[in-house]
Structure 1
């Protein structure tokens, strides 16, 4: 296990704050995180555990055995979501839902998603050890296929659970090799088979997802905890440029209708949106497909795949207008035609102020520092937020690096987040202490 500077001793440092250190077992949490990386761990300290592959099946079985040792039932639904249930005093009460996902990107990091599930497991263990009674059941979820690396779309399990994606549609999705989600679930066997009893979104009182930030802000400002107020809006746009192919050697410059040259000018316009529209926008051109794609043929067609993100849909509207106007101007200049199509328009998500206040209160009670953040990445909590009062908690990650084998956190960061989750869950579940 690679440690960043000073990381080794971080876990043994006493946590700040008068109330800290009496809830979760920081050393056990870290050991559990390290242990879980056996399943799909890479030589470079990362994780390769795609949804419903062999490593995912192994880590699911490992989670279920941890629940069995504690005597907690595990329930599963028809998309393979796992739910570890710690009963409350009132069996009929709506539950508090925590957790995240155990699948990873190809050659991804060990903490994205995984930390949220295993910190949740530690919260359940700590409540049980201290014999703290709570009114509401507490449910720890491992959502199927959050990453979307093997099967599209991402956040699949939570989308089916919350009702925004039809089960049949999800089950029919196939990976690059042609295997469907339904076939992959069957291949995984018992750890993905539905149980007779399973939670429904209607039975959830509140949801909290603990996650690494996947960005640099918390570490850069020396802040312990991020209070995630929402998730930025995402708009995907395809720009299709049509020109005319011709011989690279014989076609005069003035007679060319070069689709790639026009597309390149559009790329430059997109890259400049931070200056022309708003400095907080995140514009990316991640795809370029050129036809006929031959070195000595002037390109006849070019397709650009754009990803635009900002907390405000209004800013994305302005960015889209700017792109459309620039594309029309570039087309007129270059003798090409440009077609602009929006293929995804995902609105911003605003998390619940009441659940966020519980997170803030927990952070204050522990003497930890906190700051308001917008999530720049998508998370399962987004899917739940439309149906259930939901919030997220962020901890720092080293250098803001994620979706990479170089993704790192420290034991101290891990413990701080788990303590905040413990206090938040205690509050939301009606714990008696």
Structure 2
């Protein structure tokens, strides 16, 4: 007569089309949950040898069950619960729940104990993207999914602030829905509009007190350096205050870990930025140009002294200092650093790794190009405003952003610009990034 196939993960869900068939005799296979059997008034366990009585309905959750296959082969009508994309995730969640409760290894794990596995899975996924097959990619995505399910299940056991995988999914839906209203509503499909919409809403959500908020300091050192420098470039941070060792990294074979050295330099720079922001906040100032940064970094007097020294030297030689022309290759802008140049190593014992290798694996660019900064966001002599907002499409180098002049020249130009507009204190600095970033 009829075969009704239930969803094994949701056995209580009965298709509407099957409602009229469950009022008469119903045979139920052993895989159906007992609660379903009890809910049906005329249900009974199916015999081992079903004779295919045309007056009975067979109910099961297993399409491959021998009794189900026999009836399908005889041409009986099959009514099944409709499956949807993502249904297999429900099964994965149930599997993870069982392992967490019954597995001796899984039950002992914590967020911290899984850290190394999570990192390994990310790297293996990146390898599959670079050189693997589609099968490799599917497998590694599954391994990464395991980590997400595992951490969510561990969080569900927390006695203080528990959450589960459904809370994780709801968080994702809420965030993306709020940040992409134009796309989801069909109002627009423009990339630039989507990025701007995403960043504006993200800035309103986060209400960050620092331009460095939200940066993962556990990222690899070079990736961390790139992220920090991107944020600083967009905020008008003076380039001479960036340790030159962050712009070009030298690997000292047999020496101290380059990863550790680079990370420490980035963290030191971040500490200086936080201190400057605290000073500016106390003074009610929004840091938007080099002059303000120098003042609250506590180094403005150093640059005044450099200017005075240069002026005196020029007067003694009987010529005014040239402050308008760009320095040639041998005249780098003055940079403050506490470490002198390292002793040169033999060529066979030294490798030089430019930070821009983190930014792209395909293009060979100069060190100054490793941080993409929009063209019209730079502080240059020809800028109409020292606080011009960056364009979302144009990428240029750090030198193009900060300009090749010394920082005192840039600061002077910024102060001379009569139409400079300073945003309200505490106004967020919106940095254009991928709409999928955090």
TM-score normalised by the chain length of structure 2: 0.21
Larger radius of gyration: 2
TM-score normalised by the chain length of structure 1: 0.22
Structure that is richer in helix per residue: 2
Report 1 or 2 for greater relative contact order, CA contacts < 8 Å, sequence distance ≥ 6. Answer: 1
Structure that is richer in strand per residue: 1
